[in-house]
Chains A and B, each alone.
Chain A
Amino acid sequence: MAIEVRIPTILRSYTGGAKVVEGSGDSLNELLSDLDSRYSGLRARLVTDQGALHRFVNVYVNDEDVRFLGSLDAKLNDGDTVTILPAVAGGAFGFAAAAAILGHRAATRAR
């Protein structure tokens, strides 16, 4: 089962410069493990030590943000395209406060 994965510039050091790679898996979690077996270190840039999707990246299945599809549990099908983009965020706030806001936003969206 082939899923096309679009890699952002900042992570292409893991894919030998490749912009598009292929992987397989029934869920985003499986796909990232599959990719990590060939592109070692890639998964750790996307998934935290606690096993959640990193807030510094946006991951999409086709046209949908995976945060609306169950994050790492998002189901994948043959022929899907997964796009990874760096989240663009920041601001004058301290990091802890910003993280709290983001966490709150994610929780609100999930409801």
Chain B
Amino acid sequence: MLSIDRSIIDAIVAHARRDHPDEACGVVAGPVGSDTPTRHIPMTNAARSMTFYEFDSMEQLRVWREMEERDEEPVVIYHSHTATEAYPSRTDISFAGEPGAHYLLISTRDPEVEEIRSFRIVDGVVTEEPVRVVDATVDPNAVQSYMFGQSPTTVDYECSGR
């Protein structure tokens, strides 16, 4: 299961809507081993395409180094599909190179509907997982604070059984 703060999901969806009809992509970093996404990093889609995304290799090096310096790892790697469902394509599966990451897909094909799904992709095998969106009731920037004493309300998106 992916647990992610509502404010981060909102920022990811806003990024995807902004870049529509091109695909948008990015990372949410979190402390190593925590499985908790805390720092949203929108990335440039170097392909600037409606059907393909690619991190700029130099931006990626900078961001990956920064994560390492901060003892972080890419907890979530996201991108949007702008005309099709939020399910990994064969291209997505071929490229998936972070076995520890949650691969989050957002479809912007419907301007009114948020379509968000999360997957593990390991050795070419795709496993969908539920997404639990946590509404932090306090400072939206203090994402971790709810885990220690707050009682967040939650929204669970179940897998759609595929």
Is B1 in the interface zone, CB < 8 Å from A?
Answer: no
By the criterion of a CB under 8 Å from any partner CB, how many residues of chain B are at the interface? 34
The 8 A CB mask of B77-114 against A (1 = contact, 0 = none) is 10101111000111110111111100000000000000
- Across the interface, do A92 and B51 meet the contact criterion of CB distance under 8 Å? yes
- Across the interface, do A87 and B57 meet the contact criterion of CB distance under 8 Å? yes
By the criterion of a CB under 8 Å from any partner CB, how many residues of chain A are at the interface? 27
Closest residue of A by beta carbon distance from B22: A91
Interface of B is mostly: mixed
Question: A18 CB to closest chain B CB, in angstroms?
Answer: 15
Is B146 in the interface zone, CB < 8 Å from A?
Answer: no
- Across the interface, do A56 and B88 meet the contact criterion of CB distance under 8 Å? no
- CB-CB contacts below 8 Å: A7-66 with B: 8-10, 56-58, 60, 63, 65
Among B61, B73, B89, B98, contact of A94 (Cβ-Cβ < 8 Å): B89
User: A93 vs B23: C-alpha distance in the bound complex, in angstroms?
Assistant: 11
- Across the interface, do A56 and B100 meet the contact criterion of CB distance under 8 Å? no
User: A22 vs B13: C-alpha distance in the bound complex, in angstroms?
Assistant: 42
